[in-house]
Amino acid sequence: MRAPHVVALGGTLRPESATGRLLAAALGMAEARGARTTLLTGDAIAFPHYEPDAAAGNAAVGRYLDALRSADAVIVGSPGYHGTLSGLVKTALDYVEQLRTDERVYFDGLPVGLIATAAGWQAAVSTLHALRTITHSLRGWPTPMGLAINTTEPGDCIGRCGPQMEVMVGQIFDFLRC
Ligand SMILES: Cc1cc2nc3c(=O)[nH]c(=O)nc-3n(C[C@H](O)[C@H](O)[C@H](O)COP(=O)(O)O)c2cc1C
């Protein structure tokens, strides 16, 4: 079997973004299982608000959509902003609308791992729910294990959620083997 391509998108514009670091850690686990990976975070997803009739012609958007078109699995990570996903991540997900006329529409048939961070548990969980709802709308298959992470808990968040992240990445690979 060829190496699956796992694409992670999300995070924030902050260079030290915990969400971005968590996405990179999840891709590291996917690489350890033999995947090719692409991380799309920060400026790589800083797009203008989505306007269906004006979405063509942006080079960064083109690279983003090309990566998603070749993805065998996706991982989406967002901070909780006011109880739900950030505008940066929502706008990036809005651009998936550009895949509506593809042979494979949106995330149809793809396993999708989800990571939500927040400064408290309530927003971490509500953001994870919002990401699941969006994934369903995009015809993707959220893995049973999703990560809701309170970044204010003591210790490094990557170390703390490592076991759950390993389960989530493992479920992506279980799905790909089906
Ligand atoms: C505009 C804004 C809104 C936020 N809203 C919430 C919130 O409603 N609940 C919460 O627990 N944390 C909230 N936070 C905190 C972030 O979710 C949290 O710090 C997150 O881990 C930041 O991720 P990052 O390190 O990837 O930037 C907010 C932060 C910002 C900047």
pLDDT in tens, 46-70: 999 999 888 788 999 999 999 999 9
Quote the distance between the C-alpha of residue 121 and its chain's center: 19
pLDDT of residue 45: 98
Amino acid 173: pLDDT? 98
| CA distances from residue 178 to 13, 55, 107 in whole angstroms, order as listed | 36, 35, 17
The atom of ligand 1 lying closest to the CA of 80 is 17
- Residue 27 pLDDT grade (very low, low, confident, very high; cuts 50, 70, 90): very high
Say if residue 73's pLDDT is above 70.
Answer: yes
Identify the DSSP state of 10: E
Query: Mean pLDDT across the stretch 144-162?
Result: 96
Burial of 170 (0-12, 13-18, 19+ CB in 10 A): middle
The answer to whether 152 and 112 are in contact (CB under 8 A) is no
Q: Which H/E stretch holds residue 79?
A: strand 73-81
CB 23 within 8 A of CB 115: yes
- State pLDDT tens for residues 75-107: 999 999 999 999 999 999 999 999 999 999 999
pTM of the entire predicted model? 0.98
* Probe target for ligand 1 pocket from 22, 39, 151, with the most ligand atoms within 8 Å of CB: 151
Output the pLDDT for position 1.
Answer: 67
For residue 46, give the DSSP letter: -
When the pLDDT of each residue in the chain is averaged and rounded to a whole number, the result is 96
pLDDT value, residue 55: 76
The number of the ligand 1 atom at minimal distance from the alpha carbon of 117 is 21
Q: State the burial class of residue 95 (Cβ atoms within 10 Å of its Cβ: 0-12, 13-18, 19+).
A: buried
